């Protein structure tokens, strides 16, 4: 790796999370677990096991999103690079870093040398993907940030000539109010020369959507149940995963998929680090993820609330998924 800056610039924020931040996090989790419909924020799904399971989900036949987004990106990459002309690439929730390669190949073919900042909540995945990318693209400079795209946008470097990419439909995992503040925060940090590339899953036949979140192989069920083990480990809990089952359904009114865990028998849970005791009757539910689905109009409306607008729209022939190149609305 000599010459590549990566090893010298280990991902920032390796410093342990401040105690205040841990207390706030604990308090936020406590509050969401005490809601009428108890909820576990989706970011807890992505520990090492969860990130591995998600990688497996992306290869499932029912989970069309990943391969469809890749096929759109392969066809649109040159046009995106020509339109955005980025000097800095910033990827939010970079995961295994597969898709960014398609943009890097297009930039390698026709673009200026760029810096590439990868942000992910999972440090191990981040380090691994940066190592691989630096080896395969030595002409580009890579930087890693361990963080959360809801709270760490301020650490993504200066505005001007940035293409911020948010793939996989992950923007859909935000509650509409969270999405509003996220897009608003991002828009504040963008200038007219910046662009945002958003991958969004499109509204479609509910049966197809529900199948994508409840695969017969049981990988999504394992991905969902794993969050209980994450809470046990992080917050000294005693969730018994065998007392819960996976459920996924499409809410037409809100145009989102919900993942939930359903208690299969009456059970009690302690989370000692939160000073919490929870009692679940048989059939009681915990919400673990939302996955909002969009149309071009609903995304334009959401972007518009943040002073953004869709500049380019790329879909697959079956309109399963889309990539939207979004910019600040000219005043
Ligand atoms: C890629 C994170 C957006 O919501 O489709 C996959 C996560 N959850 N199966 C999605 C997920 C269940 C996925 N995201």
Q: How far apart are CA 183 and CA 308, in angstroms?
A: 8
Q: Give the 3-state secondary structure of residue 60.
A: coil
- Locate the ligand 1 atom nearest the alpha carbon of residue 66 and give its number: 1
CA nearest ligand 1 atom 1, residue = 168
Read off the tokens for 278: 């929870």
Q: Report which of 267, 217, 216 is spatially closest to residue 242, judged by C-alpha positions.
A: 267
CB-ligand 1 contact for 267 (6 Å cutoff): no
Q: How far apart are CA 97 and CA 180, in angstroms?
A: 26
Q: How far apart are CA 36 and CA 274, in angstroms?
A: 18
Helix orientation angle between 123-136 and 100-110, rounded to the nearest 10 degrees: 30
Would you say 196 and 164 are in contact if contact means Cβ atoms under 8 Å apart?
A: yes
CA nearest ligand 1 atom 8, residue = 213
Which phi-psi region, left, alpha or beta, contains residue 17 (left: φ > 0; alpha: ψ -120 to 50)? beta
Q: Supply the pLDDT for residue 157.
A: 76
Q: 153 versus 222: which is more confidently predicted?
A: 222
Q: How far apart are CA 8 and CA 142, in angstroms?
A: 11
From 91, 173, 211, the mutation candidate for ligand 1 (largest count of ligand atoms within 8 A of CB) is 173
Strand pairing category for 321-328 and 195-201:
antiparallel
Q: Supply the pLDDT for residue 9.
A: 41
Q: Supply the pLDDT for residue 185.
A: 95
- Locate the ligand 1 atom nearest the alpha carbon of residue 54 and give its number: 6
CB-ligand 1 contact for 198 (6 Å cutoff): no
Q: Identify any residues that bridge with 256 across adjacent strands, giving them in sequence order.
A: 251, 292
The residue-averaged pLDDT of 260-275 equals: 97
Q: Give the 3-state secondary structure of residue 59.
A: coil
CB-ligand 1 contact for 134 (6 Å cutoff): no
Please give the angle made by the CA atoms of 201, 308 and 149, to the nearest 5 degrees: 60
The residue-averaged pLDDT of 30-36 equals: 96
**Measured in angstroms, how far is the CA atom of residue 213 from the centroid of ligand 1?**
8
Residue 331 has pLDDT above 80, yes or no: no
Would you say 310 and 198 are in contact if contact means Cβ atoms under 8 Å apart?
A: no
pTM (2 decimals)? 0.91
Q: Report which of 215, 217, 280, 201 is spatially closest to residue 248, judged by C-alpha positions.
A: 215
Q: Supply the pLDDT for residue 93.
A: 87
CB-ligand 1 contact for 224 (6 Å cutoff): no
Residue 18 has pLDDT above 70, yes or no: no
Q: How far apart are CA 246 and CA 285, in angstroms?
A: 10
CB-ligand 1 contact for 172 (6 Å cutoff): yes
Would you say 244 and 264 are in contact if contact means Cβ atoms under 8 Å apart?
A: yes
Would you say 294 and 322 are in contact if contact means Cβ atoms under 8 Å apart?
A: yes
Q: Supply the pLDDT for residue 21.
A: 64
**Measured in angstroms, how far is the CA atom of residue 223 from the centroid of ligand 1?**
10
Distances (CA, A) of 275 to 39, 40, 221, 227: 17, 16, 28, 19
- If pLDDT is split at 50, 70 and 90, which confidence band does 111 have? low
The owner of tokens 């480990």 is 233
């Amino acid at each position: 790796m000599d010459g590549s800056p990566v090893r010298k610039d280990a991902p920032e924020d390796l410093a342990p999370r401040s105690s205040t931040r841990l207390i706030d996090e604990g308090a936020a989790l406590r509050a969401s677990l005490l809601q009428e419909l108890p909820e576990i924020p989706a970011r807890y799904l992505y520990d090492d096991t969860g990130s591995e399971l998600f990688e497996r989900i992306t290869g499932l036949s029912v989970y069309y999103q990943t391969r469809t987004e890749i096929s759109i990106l392969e066809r649109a990459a040159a046009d995106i690079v020509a339109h955005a002309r980025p000097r800095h690439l910033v990827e939010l929730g970079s995961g295994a870093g597969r898709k960014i390669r398609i943009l890097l190949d297009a930039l390698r073919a026709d673009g200026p040398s760029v810096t590439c900042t990868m942000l992910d909540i999972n440090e191990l995945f981040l380090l691994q993907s940066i190592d691989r990318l630096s080896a395969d693209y030595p002409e580009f400079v890579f930087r890693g940030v361990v963080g959360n795209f809801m709270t760490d946008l301020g650490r993504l470097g200066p505005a001007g000539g940035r293409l911020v990419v948010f793939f996989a439909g992950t923007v859909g995992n935000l509650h509409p109010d969270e999405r509003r503040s996220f897009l608003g925060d991002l828009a504040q940090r963008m200038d007219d020369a910046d662009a945002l590339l958003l991958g969004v899953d499109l509204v479609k036949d509910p049966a197809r959507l529900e199948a994508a979140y409840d695969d017969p192989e049981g990988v999504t069920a394992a991905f969902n149940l794993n969050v209980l083990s994450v809470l046990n480990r992080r917050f000294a809990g005693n969730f018994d995963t065998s007392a819960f089952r996976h459920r996924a359904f499409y809410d037409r009114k809100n145009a989102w998929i919900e993942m939930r865990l359903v208690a299969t028998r009456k059970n009690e849970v302690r989370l000692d680090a939160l000073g919490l005791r929870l009692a679940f009757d048989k059939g009681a539910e915990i919400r673990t993820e939302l996955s909002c689905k969009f149309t071009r109009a609903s995304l334009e409306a959401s972007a518009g609330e943040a002073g953004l607008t869709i500049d380019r729209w790329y879909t697959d022939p079956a309109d399963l998924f889309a990539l939207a190149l979004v910019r600040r609305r000219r005043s």
